[in-house]
Amino acid sequence: MKTLTVGHSPDADDAFMFYALAKKKVTINDHDIEHVMEDIESLNHRALRGDLDVTAISAAVYPLVATNYRIMACGASVGRNYGPIVLCKEDVCINDLAGKRIGVPGSHTTAYLLLRLYMTAPFQPVMLPFDSITGAIDRDQVDAGVIIHEGQITWQGSDLKKILDLGEAWMEDTRLPIPLGLDVVHRKFDTSLQQEITSAMEASIRMARSQEDEAIDYAMEFGRGIDRETCRQFVRMYVNEDTVNMGAEGKQALDRLYTLASERGIIESSPALDIIGLK
């Protein structure tokens, strides 16, 4: 048996999607899977080195790794009228943060890319672990922060103010969903194995959705203290029909994201979208 290194985060939505593969309810012929669980920014950096066979990445990093990886049509984390949020102690407008320190969860995250698209004024980005940003705002280490993962739900128990939902802003401007994360396969494999991996991923996602309670149990093994229903709510936000198959609209959304980023000089150019479709 050959081994495939498969990178994904321990976040509830990622763990949920990989439940059936982890439990070997779904398998890939002649291959074992070595699950590599790291936070998304660490996986972004590993993708830049090309050292994982299959991995979750931020959509924002794909232009930098497209020479080594192809996108799977399944596995994307997509928000429809919701996404990363910007929090602050004061109820201000986004451009009132001009020149301020804003905590962001990594230089290659889609959250940071979206912030640069929607902040028309210069600001001071402060790179922080995603789960430390609300605390950094509370302690005045930063003036505001971009919140991802389950923090998009749990922040409501704090005294912080939501000044912008980047997914809402994106939907209002583009009428498209926002693709935040992708799953990709290394180009070193032949097309038949790339297709088999993609089909296995789709099957794992479908099984997790059909066996939700069992998959939630698995996801909670890696949770960060969130309760079961918060975990379920977060999973349902980012493991949805777009995750099963991004389709033509998902491809259009990715193209729009990269085109806008290129026009703003955030990335050098919009990459060709090489997507492995579903059978």
Specify whether 261 is located in the same domain as 130: no
Q: What is the pTM of this model?
A: 0.94
Specify whether 168 is located in the same domain as 126: yes
**Domain with 251 in it:** 2-78+178-276
Q: What pLDDT, on the 0 to 100 scale, is given for residue 103?
A: 97
For residue 23, name the pLDDT band (cuts at 50, 70, 90).
very high
Q: Which two tokens stand for residue 152?
A: 């998009």
Bridge partners (DSSP) of residue 161 are: 88
Query: What is the 3 state secondary structure string of 155-186?
Result: HHHCCCEEEEEHHHHHHHHHCCCEEEEEEEEE
**Domain's final residue, options 174, 200, 232:** 174
Mean pLDDT highest for which of 10-14, 141-145, 147-151?
A: 141-145
* Across 22-45, average pLDDT: 94
Given a cut of 80, whether residue 279 has pLDDT beyond it is no
Query: Helical H runs in the chain?
Result: 12-17, 19-22, 40-49, 62-65, 110-118, 133-138, 151-154, 166-174, 191-210, 212-220, 228-238, 241-244, 247-263
The predicted-structure confidence for 164-222, as pLDDT tens digits, reads as follows 999 999 999 999 999 999 999 999 999 999 999 999 999 999 999 999 999 999 999 88
Specify whether 170 is located in the same domain as 182: no
Q: What pLDDT, on the 0 to 100 scale, is given for residue 86?
A: 97
Question: Catalytic positions, please?
Answer: 149
CATH of the domain at 117: 3.40.190.10
Specify whether 170 is located in the same domain as 196: no
Q: What pLDDT, on the 0 to 100 scale, is given for residue 6?
A: 97
Given a cut of 90, whether residue 156 has pLDDT beyond it is no
Specify whether 39 is located in the same domain as 156: no
68 vs 193: CA distance, rounded Å: 15
Given a cut of 90, whether residue 155 has pLDDT beyond it is no
